[in-house]
């Protein structure tokens, strides 16, 4: 995975948390909240779709991005039982 266009991993994680809660608001609202451009929000969505196969979409009725299927996107380091 390559982060491009000055993507900030902390802001991406914040975006994911808002999506999980279905509390993003419109693309321009979440961009303002995260202090990024509208284009960057579209880049985040494309990153999640294309690199992580995340089923994310914008729901006009709920006025929020949401994940269309249940699942977990885990970005945390997990200790391996095997020593390298």
Total count of domains within the chain? 1
pLDDT over 90 at 77, yes or no: no
Q: Is residue 49 part of a domain?
A: yes
pLDDT of res. 79: 73
Q: Please check whether residue 83 lies inside any domain of the structure.
A: no
The verdict on residue 26 lying in a domain is yes
C-alpha distances (whole Å) from 71 to each of 53, 74, 78, 80 are: 11, 10, 18, 22
Say what the pLDDT of residue 63 is: 97
Is 55 within the bounds of a domain?
Answer: yes
| CA distances, 84 to each of 22, 76, 77, 78, 81 (Å) | 40, 19, 15, 14, 9
Taken in order 67, 16, 41, 31, the sign of the CA dihedral is positive
- List the CATH number of the domain containing 39: 1.10.10.10
Rounded to two decimals, what is the model's pTM? 0.83
In a domain, 61, yes or no: yes
Domain, as residue range, for 47: 9-67
């Amino acid at each position: 995975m390559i982060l491009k266009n000055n993507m900030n991993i902390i802001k991406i994680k914040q975006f994911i948390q808002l999506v999980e809660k279905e509390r993003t608001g419109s693309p321009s609202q979440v961009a303002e909240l995260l202090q990024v451009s509208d284009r960057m929000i579209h880049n985040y969505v494309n990153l999640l779709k294309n690199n992580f196969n995340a089923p994310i979409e914008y729901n006009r009725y709920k006025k929020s991005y949401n994940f269309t299927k249940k699942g977990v996107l885990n970005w945390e380091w997990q200790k391996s039982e095997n020593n390298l």
